[in-house]
Chain A
Amino acid sequence: MSIDESTAARVAKLARIRVEPDRLPALAAEFNTILGFIEQLSEVDVEGVEPMTSVTPQRLKRRADEVTDGNQQVAVLANAPDAREGFFAVPKVVE
């Protein structure tokens, strides 16, 4: 599977990273190098093998369904690049 420039552009779009068009050929080449390396995995017989979900056998702990934290508006907004009137501010999303 080889990645062309349009695939590289699509991946960049999906990842929400702006890539200038003149960078796309080099990016596609880098992807192909890495994917070529990963391709070795197709040699492995994985028939009947379960994909790993948890590296250590453990059950997730449960707790009572109740509020344990909150009321931290100031702390939550403290690092926002743009916060106004108690909210995160972003460019207009809907017309």
Chain B
Amino acid sequence: MADLNKLGLAGARDALRAGEITSVALTDACLGAIEGAGALNAFVHHTPEIARAQAAAADARIKAGDAPAMCGLPIGIKDLFCTRGVPSQAGSRILEGFLPEYESTITQNLFDAGAVMLGKLNMDEFAMGSSNETSVYGNAVNPWRRGNDDAALTPGGSSGGSASAVAADLCLAATGTDTGGSIRQPAAFTGITGIKPTYGRCSRWGVVAFASSLDQAGPMTKSVRDAAIMLEAMCSHDPRDSTSADLPVPNFEAMLTGDIKGKKIGIPKEYRMEGMPDEIETLWTRGREMLADAGAGIVDISLPHTKYALPAYYVIAPAEASSNLARYDGVRYGHRARLDQGDGITEMYEKTRAEGFGAEVQRRVMIGTYVLSAGFYDAYYNRARKVRTLIKKDFEDVFAQGVDAILTPATPSAAFGLGEASDDPVEMYLNDIFTVTVNMAGLPGIAVPAGTDANGLPLGLQLIGRPWEEGDLLNTAYALEARAGFVAKPVKWW
């Protein structure tokens, strides 16, 4: 079998179990693809020795008839996940040299399920960004280009390396994390599938914290079926994360029947933004038609506080970040600035954090500090938390009306050029306009590739589901995927 790295999780799993291929061969194909893809800057820490050892062990397990869900499947891990003895920097200079003494619950779950780790993937620093341009490793690059134009495009962010690696077939799938859209936006920009589960479905233990009330991990994959397989392997109740849900994890893959007859799909009128490109509007209309064709009922709904989700997010997320990132003090791990004669502990903190954090992280930590400071806490932080209550209630109201899922565009545009975005931070924040509501309400959301723009770049649609009903959401996404028939791949230039 040629080009094993081009397989998805389900295809490779079946071929492994049938004895048609070995994990060692599959892993070598991926390692070879990674070696030839330096131009994408997706993998930033390579772990071929670990991968080959895990692959050999997986082959032995398969031979012995003990092949769990991810057995022998090579994946990439976002740099935000702590992996024992392997650099885990969250894309930041301040964690340079940090080698975790422990394994994140999610990577442990994946390894227990037999997964093979190829290395760590590029990302925006501390997951703060929508273009992977805030990374200490430099930009990750989208394997897609605008026709014959060789301008480098962003793979999106913050899980940009994950998206680029999966789209370019460097790995079969990857982990991502999503605080305001960081799985779904890069998935849409690179023509892959990405799901953010319900808040609490995946343990946050060992995942470097950005905004703890919003952060969730999820899989980034080549198909909806692959997302179902990998999500199930990632989820678990974890006593080490007090917000982790003590609920049974269903067999998501078994729920993919493609039958969505009688389901009610809501179309929120507030997501029709002024100045939205026609291509996005058209894609959204086609998505409605596809779901209607599958037998679902389409209803217009209203989520009246949508407009305020992004500004509320830019209070809550920086506030939590300023608190979470207080731990980077140059004392316990990571970078410490070189001190001058007479410098005390305050200078150590200030110099370490000025050197260790990039511009966007500094900006958000300081905004968070400001909105939490005496005199502004009520006006900004408490008000934003009240608005968050209203945003969640908007969703609860439509679900109470019997809506099963909500269809929206995933992003307001296709992938843009690296360096093309303006210097205005707020303009960059608008990338998350369709995705951030889902984090604010703690809901599951999935981006599915559904078409291309005039330049041949992928565009995605987003489906939002009821809390804890990822299985039903994946099934709706499966029906949409089947009708969208998105099979385009980037033309290899790297």
Mark A residues whose CB is within 8 Å of B: 3, 8, 11-12, 14-19, 27, 30-31, 33-35, 37-44, 46, 49-56, 58, 60-61, 63, 72, 75-76, 78-82, 88, 90-93
**Does A91 lie within 8 Å of B339, measured CB to CB?**
yes
B307 within 8 A of A: yes
23 contacts between A and B (CB under 8 A): A3-B370, A11-B370, A14-B373, A15-B366, A15-B369, A17-B357, A19-B354, A30-B425, A31-B366, A35-B370, A37-B314, A37-B426, A41-B315, A41-B387, A44-B390, A50-B389, A52-B385, A56-B245, A60-B242, A61-B242, A76-B101, A81-B330, A88-B331
The closest CB in chain B to the CB of A34 belongs to: B367
Closest 8 CB pairs of A and B: A55-B442, A51-B385, A79-B333, A81-B336, A18-B350, A46-B386, A18-B354, A75-B101
Mark B residues whose CB is within 8 Å of A: 97-99, 101-102, 198-200, 213, 239, 242-243, 245-246, 305, 307-308, 310-312, 314-315, 322, 326, 329-336, 339, 343-351, 353-354, 357, 362-363, 365-367, 369-371, 373, 380, 382-390, 392, 424-426, 429, 440-442, 467
**Does A38 lie within 8 Å of B315, measured CB to CB?**
yes
**Does A41 lie within 8 Å of B367, measured CB to CB?**
no
Residues of chain A contacted by B442 (CB below 8 angstroms): 55-56
The closest CB in chain A to the CB of B350 belongs to: A18
Nearest-Cβ distance from residue B419 to partner chain A, whole angstroms: 19
**Does B389 lie within 8 Å of A49, measured CB to CB?**
yes
Query: How many interface contacts (CB-CB < 8 Å) are there between A and B?
Result: 166
Residues of chain A contacted by B380 (CB below 8 angstroms): 38, 41
**Does B389 lie within 8 Å of A51, measured CB to CB?**
yes
**Does B311 lie within 8 Å of A38, measured CB to CB?**
yes
Residues of chain B contacted by A31 (CB below 8 angstroms): 366-367, 370
Q: Name which of A3, A42, A49 has the most chain B CB atoms within 10 A of its CB.
A: A49
**Does A79 lie within 8 Å of B242, measured CB to CB?**
no
**Does A90 lie within 8 Å of B387, measured CB to CB?**
no
Nearest-Cβ distance from residue B303 to partner chain A, whole angstroms: 14
Q: Name which of A11, A43, A76 has the most chain B CB atoms within 10 A of its CB.
A: A11
Residues of chain A contacted by B441 (CB below 8 angstroms): 55
**Does A30 lie within 8 Å of B363, measured CB to CB?**
yes
**Does A58 lie within 8 Å of B357, measured CB to CB?**
no
**Does B335 lie within 8 Å of A81, measured CB to CB?**
yes
The closest CB in chain A to the CB of B371 belongs to: A38
Extra A-B contacts (9), CB below 8 Å, given A19-B362, A55-B441: A11-B369, A18-B351, A31-B367, A35-B367, A44-B387, A51-B389, A56-B243, A56-B467, A79-B99
Give CA–CA (A80, B333) in the complex, Å.
Answer: 5
**Does B311 lie within 8 Å of A41, measured CB to CB?**
yes
Residues of chain A contacted by B314 (CB below 8 angstroms): 34, 37-38
Q: Name which of B308, B333, B344, B386 has the most chain A CB atoms within 10 A of its CB.
A: B386
The closest CB in chain A to the CB of B373 belongs to: A14
Give CA–CA (A71, B132) in the complex, Å.
Answer: 39
Nearest-Cβ distance from residue B489 to partner chain A, whole angstroms: 37
Give CA–CA (A91, B341) in the complex, Å.
Answer: 10
The closest CB in chain A to the CB of B430 belongs to: A37
Residues of chain B contacted by A39 (CB below 8 angstroms): 311
